[in-house]
Structure 1
Amino acid sequence: MGLPHPDLTDRILGGWLGRVAGNMLGKPVERGDHWTRERIDRYLRRTDALPLTDYLPEPPADAGVGEFELRPEWRRCVRGRIHGSCRDDDVDYTILGLHLLETHGFDFTTEQVGEAWLLHLPFLQTFTAERAAYRNLANGLKPPVTATHDNPYQEWIGALIRADIFGWTSPGAPRRAAGLARRDAVLSHTGNGVYGAMWAAALIAAAFTADTPRQAIDAALEHIPAGSRLARTVRHTTALHDSGTPWSETLTVLAAQTGHLSWIHTVPNAAVITAGLLYGSGDFTSTITLTVRGGLDTDSNGATAGSVAGVLCGAAAIPAQWTDPLEDRLSSAVFGFDGVRISELAERTVRLASHS
């Protein structure tokens, strides 16, 4: 869609690598009710890791009981211990989306999304809204009822984390990307949950032709309802940034407005992603580290911000400390994909994007 093939290849590989690296960076501290911004920065100061320019360090030997409760997988996700990526749903759904497009093309239906889940994704590797929708599918319900029946997580972040593949395969076409993401999202989400997926897909698609993160953010806003809580929150984030408000103070102001929502809800997490992109100013390392230091759903936010930043700068410009430990290899719960090379997934994505 207007990008020279070598540039498209570098940008899409940048998106994949950025997503995986951002996810790995945030994974050890993914629990927003415990890992507040303040606790994350206290951890970094205790481990002499501020400013943060690499994966998280191991926990300090003198940490008190319960002071820093990292996720059980932390030993595979901290600097010096990473040999390929950990398995995570933030990447599993990206792989599954690629398989969906390869199998059904860009005219896929929401029903086919559900079928792909049942065929290729273990039930116990689904969470919140996705688990509710999966259960509804297994019980014979059809979309859109799969999103609304016995599902209190309809506006949480799950659909947003599934959206990258639709952005990568719609380079420079945010409206198209948002439409594809919506068709996927309505299987499990409603309202701002769906808008979050549309926004993320449009944001990534726009990053292929944007000169700055702000241009991509502005373009993405055109493809979700202007009066939605999500759009209002993203606009407020950009206004605070434009006014010269420091990053930490911006997140404090936004948290005061959205703090009544779950730490997995789409709206507060979109604010953290937006702030990371704006204050990161197009620098890959600054973008993903600020985003993860922003707290809430750290691995999901790091993954989305890393995807946007990776598309903006391209794979060749991502510093080696983020990509070398990944060893071009993914762990995945999606049947048939465990151990797949990241570069292979990127090549397959380029083929789809080139012929879409």
Structure 2
Amino acid sequence: MPSNYLEKLYSGYLGMNIGIRLGAPVEPTIWTYERIQSTYGDITDYVKEFKNFAADDDANGPFYFLRALYDDAKDRDITPNDVARAWLNYAREGIGMFWWGGYGVSTEHTAYINLKKGIEAPQSGSIEQNGLIIAEQIGGQIFIDTWGLVNPCNPKKAADFGEAAARVSHDGEGVLGARFFCAAISKAFETSDINEIIEAGLAQIPADSIYAKVSRAVLAFHAQHPNDFRACRDMLERDWGYDKYTGVCHIIPNAGVCVLSMIYGQGDFNRTVEIATMCGWDTDCNAGNVGTVLGVACGLEGIADKYRKPINDSIVMSGISGFMNILDIPTYAKELAILGHRLANVPCPEGLVESFTEHDIYFDFELPGSTHNIRISDPFFCQAKHSTEKSFKGTGSLEVVFDRMVRGEKSKVFYKPFYTRDDFSDERYSPTFAPKASSGQKVSMQIFLDQWGGNETMGIAPYVRLSKSKKELVQGYVKLVDQEWVHIEFVLPDSEGELIDEVGIVLEAYSTRKPKSLGRIFIDEFRIYGNADYTIDFNKQLSNFGCITPFAHNNGAWSLENGAMYLMTAEPSEAYTGNYFAKDYSVSVQLNPQSGHSHLVAVRAQGAMRGYHVGFDGANQVSLYINNFGFTKLASAEFPWQLGKDYDFKVTVQGNTLTFAIDGQEVLKHTDDTFDYGMFGVSTRTAARTYFKHIRFTEI
């Protein structure tokens, strides 16, 4: 493995998301190449500011489809069917994840419907099944970056993994794009020479393929005109444009843009993603793909701060798990590095394994420049940046400079564990969220004070903010001690049915007007951990992105009515939330069935196709089902229930035992070893109308 593997992974994944964010505003077809040029000229920075950048299909796919390595291909190479199962498990039908443009129009939508109808991969994405045009659209190369990241210095293996993943939805030239980019990403771990990287990608596809031919045409043009990328773009329009390669977004013209931007960017990360954006067509896909390659090749030092800082180490996504949809990039880089060691069959460094956690939040600030999405409420008084000057453990910390504050002046320093629609500028790909921090959990951090001026040392108070009311629950103040590390620990308070969307400290000055407080604090070893115990009050929830907070809905019509979450559906439907990696817990739900025969609670749900569902199941009966790519009844019992009446359900999963009680009476108990962690939620297997309220989740 490369000695700097983790850092290169981090820069590559950052590079992908920078490219996506840069290219996304000019992706819609109304933004022609000419319009981009006349409006923005020579692009040298983001063209649009966002409150927070909403989800994007180019980020969803590389994250969620890679989970095939956990679910099915745990000890072997992946197959197209492994990745197909990830498609079905982690996508919500018709919303989020990718572009649902219609069967026979959107390649991904077409492949998904094929899979749902029982057409297995790779037939689901084949030319035979879908025709040449659908099979050769760009999606074959836009969801595959992570397969290259987990196979460093092994272009052939990376290409083979990328091809297996791409064959779920693509064929022909569309699959060759996956091979090219996975190989290029893999090669970038061992060289920064862009010519070598491009050749490594081309070595993994047939020399007589159209993909290779358009790439060679670009390289030949560059050899004759090395300083004029726009002339090369004109050549692509003339010889390889959308008029010749049709469909919504064909891979061949965009392959030309990708090779163009890399060769004219000449190994410079920033210029490469800028050129990819200026060239038009599928701008976020192209800038994202080349951003991964150049992010790995150039490393963190090659990424300009103007591009890195707005990312702030965080992205959001729109898969079925609201918990995983809030992604910390340094933490995910560690996860990818662990997977990379596993696939290479080499021991993983012990410190790397110890520093990674799925269930909890742990920010160690060890990766160069990492900030872990820690934010400042008042940039007039405070500025935050990564530092290697002080650390409680390891080499890194977060430095927060406070500048001339006087008694009563404050700034919050916080992590954002939950989002609502108001946090975003738009609704790209309809993200959904489940809280990463909840009542009952503990928060801890180490804080070092280096005060330069003022007649009183600074104080801090732990706090949380509630997402709907914006009420801040501030705990007692602690005076910091100059030149000492102070351990701060507190329990997240009862949020009384709301969700927590800020967790951190209030930094307050105590100095009088002369001299003012000036200096800095260093934060290290930031954790949110332990068992959650919280309630969901639907009087305090919102309807956001087509879902009721904090749930991700899969089918059905869901709304807020009379203090309840109301479901009306003509088909099987589910709503999921909670920590994806929660193991032992109980869920209490008050349920009022209005019509239909199926009214269920889901536990240890690992997606749309995996989990347990228990509850009313036909006249005078309750049943427990396991969903493992198809529902199977595990147990049932008699229970006389009726429509229009409130029932208090309580489902407890502990070890391999599931217990189901109604109104305090145990009605069903069963043991099963299939799933040992997962989300919770509510569901139905048939047409139904149901009210759900008074939900409580308690980890054991």
Partner of 2:340: 353
The unaligned stretches of length 5 or more in structure 2 are: 100-105, 344-700
1:208 aligns with 2:189: yes
Corresponding residue SS for 1:330 = strand
Say which SS state the counterpart of residue 139 (structure 2) adopts.
coil
Q: Note the residue ranges of structure 1 that are not aligned, 5 or more in a row.
A: 57-77
TM-score (norm 2): 0.45
1:119 matches 2:89: yes
Distance in 1 separating the partners of 2:337 and 2:152: 10
1:99 pairs with 59, 67, 74, which one?
A: 67
Residue 340 and residue 211 in structure 1: after superposition, are their counterparts in 2 closer, same or farther (change >3 A)? closer
Of 79, 83, 87, the residue aligned with 2:55 is 87
Superposition TM-score, scaled by structure 1 size: 0.87
Q: Does 1:257 align with 2:239?
A: yes
Q: 1:338 corresponds to which residue?
A: 325
Equivalent positions of 1:154-173 (< 5 A) are 154-173=135-154
Superposed CA offset, 1:163-207 (max 9, x none): 211111111111111101111111111110011111111111111
Moved more, 221-230 or 308-317: 308-317
Q: 1:80-138 deviations in whole A, cap 9, x for unaligned?
A: x343x320110000111332223324522211211111111123233321111100111
CA distance in 2, matches of 1:145, 1:99: 21
> 2:304: which partner in 1?
319
Return the structure number with greater helix share. 1
Mapped contact 1:272–1:294 kept (Cα < 8 A) = yes
Shift of 1:10: 1.4
1:132 to 110, 113, 123: 110
Q: What do the CA deviations read for 1:232-259 (whole angstroms, capped 9, x no partner)?
A: 1101111111122521111111221112
Q: Which residue of 1 aligns with 2:229?
A: 247
Whether the aligned pair in 2 keeps the contact of 1:237 and 1:271 (CA below 8 Å) is yes
Cα RMSD for the two superposed structures = 1.5
Residues 1:141 and 2:110 are matched in the alignment: no
Instruction: Note if contact 1:37-1:294 (Cα within 8 Å) is conserved in structure 2.
Output: yes
Q: Measure, in 2, the Cα distance between the counterparts of 1:278 and 1:101.
A: 33
Q: CA deviation at 1:322?
A: 1.1
2:46 is matched by which residue type in structure 1?
A: Y
Shift of 1:308: 0.8
Shift of 1:335: 2.5
Distance in 2 separating the partners of 1:82 and 1:168: 29
For the residues of structure 2 that align with 1:88 and 1:42, how far apart are their CA atoms?
A: 26
The code of the aligned residue for 2:44 comes to T
Are the aligned partners of 1:247 and 1:279 in contact in 2 as well (CA < 8 Å)?
yes
After superposition, residues 1-356 of structure 1 pair within 5 angstroms as 1=1, 3-4=2-3, 7-32=4-29, 34-45=30-41, 50=42, 52-56=43-47, 78-79=48-49, 81-83=50-52, 85-103=53-71, 104-105=73-74, 106-124=76-94, 125=96, 126-127=98-99, 128-148=106-126, 149-150=129-130, 152-245=133-226, 246-259=228-241, 260-262=244-246, 264-336=249-321, 337-356=324-343
CA contact (8 A) 1:97 1:165 kept: no
| Greater fraction strand | 2
Residues 150 and 215 (structure 1), Cα distance of their counterparts in 2 relative to 1, 3 Å cut: closer
- If asked which structure has higher relative contact order (CA below 8 Å, sep 6+), I would say 1
Describe the SS at the equivalent of 1:340. Answer: strand
Q: Percent of pairs identical after alignment?
A: 31
Task: After superposing the two structures, state which structure 1 stretch, 291-300 or 103-112, moved more.
Answer: 103-112
Task: Give the C-alpha shift of residue 315 in structure 1.
Answer: 2.4
Larger of the two Rg values belongs to structure: 2
| Cα shift at 1:261 | 1.5
Question: Structure 1 189/43 Cα, relative in aligned 2: closer, same or farther at 3 Å?
Answer: same
- Give the distance between the partners of 1:157 and 1:285, measured in 2 at CA: 23
Q: Count residues with an aligned counterpart.
A: 324
